[in-house]
Amino acid sequence: MTARIPADLAELALAVADATVRADIELFARQQDIEGLMFYDLSCADDPRSPEAMGYIQRAAAYIEARGDVFPWRLVRHISAPTLVCFRDKETAHGQA
> In this predicted model, what pLDDT tens digit does every residue of 61-71 receive, in sequence order?
999 999 999 99
Question: Rounded to an integer, what distance in angstroms lies between the CA atom of residue 52 and that of residue 92?
Answer: 36
In this prediction, residue 15 carries a pLDDT of 96
Determine the 3-state secondary structure of 79 from DSSP.
Answer: coil
In this prediction, residue 48 carries a pLDDT of 82
In this prediction, residue 91 carries a pLDDT of 80
Closest CA to 59 of 29, 80, 89, 95: 29
In a domain, residue 96? The reply is no
In a domain, residue 12? The reply is yes
In a domain, residue 95? The reply is no
Mean pLDDT of 28-44: 96
Question: Rounded to an integer, what distance in angstroms lies between the CA atom of residue 18 and that of residue 14?
Answer: 6
> How far from chain centre, in Å, is Cα 39?
12
Its pTM stands at: 0.84
pLDDT at 97 over 50: no
pLDDT at 55 over 70: yes
In a domain, residue 42? The reply is yes
